[in-house]
Structure 1
Amino acid sequence: MNSVKEECTPLKREYDACFNRWYSNKYLKGDYHSDDCATLFAKYQECVMSALKEKNLNIAELQANVLGTDREQRSPEDAKS
Structure 2
Amino acid sequence: MAHSLSPECTPLKHEYDSCFNAWFEGYLEPALSASAASEERRAYSKRKAEEYENTCGKIWVKYRDCVQKAVKDRGLDDLLNQARQENPLKEPPPPPMKEATS
Task: Compare relative contact order (CA 8 Å, sep 6+) and give the higher one, 1 or 2.
Answer: 2
Matches within 5 A, 1:1-81: 1-25=2-26, 27-28=27-28, 29=30, 31-32=44-45, 33=49, 34=51, 35=53, 36-58=55-77, 61=81, 64=84, 66-68=88-90
Alignment partners' CA distance in 2, 1:4 and 1:48: 7
Unaligned runs of 5+ in 2: 32-43, 91-102
User: CA offset at residue 63 of structure 1?
Assistant: 8.2
Aligned-CA RMSD value: 2.5
Bigger helix fraction: 2
Q: Which has the greater radius of gyration?
A: 2
Identical amino acids, percent of aligned pairs:
39
Question: Which residues of structure 1 form unaligned runs of 5+?
Answer: 69-81
Compared with structure 1, are the counterparts of its residues 14 and 63 closer, same or farther at alpha carbon in structure 2 (3 Å cutoff)?
Answer: farther
TM-score normalised to the size of structure 1?
0.69
Residues matched between the structures, number = 68
